[in-house]
Amino acid sequence: MTTTGATAYWCELAWVPPGEVASGVLVHVDDTHITAVERAATPPPRATRLPGLTLPGLANVHSHAFHRALRGRTHGVPTATGAGRGSFWTWRERMYDVARRLDPDTYHQLARAVYGEMVLAGITCVGEFHYLHHGPDGTPYDEPNVMAEVLVAAAREAGLRITVLDTCYLTGGIGAPLSGAQMRFGDGDAEKWATRADQLRGAHAKDHDVVVGAAVHSVRAVPPHELATVVSWGHASHAPLHVHLSEQRRENADCEAAYGVSPTALLFEHGVLGPRTTAVHATHLDEGGVGLLAGTETTVCLCPTTERDLADGIGPASSLSRAGSPLVLGSDSHAVIDLFEEARALELDERLHTEERGHWSAPELLTAMSESGHRALGFADAGLIAPGGWADLVSVRLDSVRTAGADLGRAVDMAVFAGTAADVVSVVASGCPVASNGHHLRLGDVGALLTSSIQTL
């Protein structure tokens, strides 16, 4: 990733540790990291001025980049075709249609555009839950990790860091073989998956902007006897380990029928849960599942815009938080790419579920969007505007029709509960300016790139 050398940014307002908004904040940057933070009433010479409220970079913990091609095509009720209202499972078939069409070139083009959209939304790090490993019929490419490498290239071109969560995906359901589009997801067994993942990890062992982590797709896709191999691989590399968990009630029922325990209990029994693990969705948990996640210090990634789009349900986020599981956020299927919307949806969905207000404060939600999210992706030194941290600075307008009227004491509340991705006015990622006034400084017209890459599919 290109760096800029020593420079300084003067923030009109900035959210700084221990969680306060300060005016006139001068941030010194050397290449990719912050070296000093100080107060300065006016911008010194040669400092770049950042208007509005400057936040640490946002972390999109759960992404499937290729799902972006489905936006606008799967949300409505297709009554004209007589197809009914659809479900998660019918949506999945449409997703598989896109998965069949991708090759390294089209995947790179689409991912670059999607990551460009993320940058414009203030996202400086993405966790890509990656399982499009092989050719459409399951035949490995000559370069076994070419589909992961195009994601890394796309992220670098867009100007964000990436955690490639190389996903083990072996079965098409509990006891069912892979079929159709799923063929390209599988490596045969977990040992073969680990061998390929080792190659990817080795290729990026010295990179500071790329983390190679592991993922268990779900209890539907990885049999119990294969889980230990994935867990051992993650432990050996000190890597993040992510897993889809209980997104659908059917997953719970199938797991209970096959193994006599819930998906959470099954993962616990096989050592999948723990401080480096992030469970994605965790929508349909019983009280015991909440206790297992919190008791093992497992992080939970909520994706509210996807969960409501797919009618997954509202998970026990408040119970998880009170019990001690850190919460983070992801845009998942990219029905929208807007972590401000994800954050307030977390609070507002909980209000609908409980008929009570005030479950998380704006600073707590902002921490989930930033510091906690980066930690879940293996970047523990990101998500704070503080010396030693990654130089990620995201400036949000406080004078748009959505955010106008904020004062110093309510700036964070206004940004989190009223702001949107459209209010992001400037993005510095890893010390480099990458977006300004809604324009991507490297990619240019991201909308045109999205149109072109999606039309190609």
Catalytic residue among 166, 187, 312, 332: 332
State the CATH number of the domain containing residue 45.
Answer: 2.30.40.10
Over the stretch 16-49, which tens digit does the pLDDT of each residue have?
A: 999 999 999 999 999 999 999 999 888 999 999 9
CA distances from 429 to 26, 109, 147, 233, 434 (A): 16, 21, 24, 30, 7
Catalytic residue among 133, 134, 217, 281: 281
pLDDT value at 92 more than 90: no
Enter the tokens of residue 233: 């691989």
Considering only CA atoms, which of 364, 277, 274 is closest in space to residue 318? 364
Over the stretch 102-150, which tens digit does the pLDDT of each residue have?
A: 999 999 999 999 999 999 999 999 999 999 999 999 999 999 999 999 9
Q: Do residues 37 and 65 both lie within one domain?
A: no
Range with lowest mean pLDDT among 87-101, 354-368, 405-419 = 87-101
First CA to last CA across the chain, in angstroms? 29
Question: Taking the mean position of all CA atoms in its chain, how far away is CA 117?
Answer: 13
Q: Give the C-alpha separation, 368 to 324, whole Å.
A: 13
Q: Do residues 48 and 66 both lie within one domain?
A: no
Domain that holds residue 407: 6-55+386-440
Over the stretch 317-355, which tens digit does the pLDDT of each residue have?
A: 999 999 999 999 999 999 999 999 999 999 999 999 999
Over the stretch 216-232, which tens digit does the pLDDT of each residue have?
A: 999 999 999 999 999 99
Alpha helices in 159-300 (DSSP H): 190-203, 224-237, 249-259, 263-269, 287-295
Q: Is 332 a catalytic residue?
A: yes
State the CATH number of the domain containing residue 300.
Answer: 3.20.20.140
Domain boundary among 376, 398, 422: 376
For the purposes of burial, counting CB atoms within 10 Å of the CB of 348, is it exposed (0-12), middle (13-18) or buried (19 or more)? middle
Q: Does residue 425 belong to any structural domain of this protein? A: yes
Q: Give the C-alpha separation, 428 to 395, whole Å.
A: 9
Q: Do residues 102 and 73 both lie within one domain?
A: yes
Q: Does residue 381 belong to any structural domain of this protein? A: no
pTM (2 d.p.): 0.96
Number of separate domains in the chain: 2
Identify the sign of the CA torsion 271, 276, 280, 284.
positive
Q: Is 374 a catalytic residue?
A: no
Q: Does residue 85 belong to any structural domain of this protein? A: yes
Considering only CA atoms, which of 389, 368, 339, 428 is closest in space to residue 16? 389
Q: Do residues 130 and 193 both lie within one domain?
A: yes
